Amino acid sequence: MTDGCLFCGIVAGNTPAHRVIETDEVVGFLDTRPLFPGHTLLVPREHVVTLSDLPEALLVPLFSTAQRVTDALTSTLGAEGTFVAMNNVVSQSVAHLHVHVVPRTKGDGLRGFFWPRAKYAEGEAEACATTLRKALA
């Protein structure tokens, strides 16, 4: 845990988040400014900044969790596919390694790297998180 790290605060339960999955190694929660509803961030519980810093023992837990979230997005939220991404340093808004798992549909308007961001409507984030938690249980 690193003091002042937003994601460490979420992992510790000190910062509120719409959690969708938790394992011994990984916590997943909805992005507060999603590209599309269901946009999930996966973080290792251990504070690491970049993929290069990630211990080898956490590679499989992190990416198998990404795989599970991908399956949940397509089976429960109507996504036709997903976009999985990670920034390292450049464009990394929080200096704690995180994997974006974004639901996609044909014609959703996501082009290149100029992505429309939006906020959840009142109650939408919790409903989305609940649906994903059930699918990932």
Residue 52 lies in a domain: yes
Range of the domain at 109: 6-136
Residue 76 lies in a domain: yes
Residue 1 lies in a domain: no
Helix/strand/coil (H, E, C) string of the chain? CCCCCHHHHHHHCCCCCCEEEECCCEEEEECCCCCCCCCEEEEECCCCCCHHHCCHHHHHHHHHHHHHHHHHHHHHCCCCEEEEECCCCCCCCCCCCCEEEEEECCCCCCECCECCCCCCCCCHHHHHHHHHHHHHC
* pLDDT, tens digit, 9 for 90 and up, residues 19-62: 999 999 999 999 999 999 999 999 999 999 999 999 999 999 99
Q: What's the total number of domains in the chain?
A: 1
The predicted model scores a pTM of: 0.85
Residue 12 lies in a domain: yes
* pLDDT, tens digit, 9 for 90 and up, residues 62-119: 999 999 999 999 999 999 999 999 998 988 889 999 999 999 999 988 876 566 678 8
Residue 77 lies in a domain: yes
Q: Check which CATH number belongs to the domain holding 27 and give it.
A: 3.30.428.10
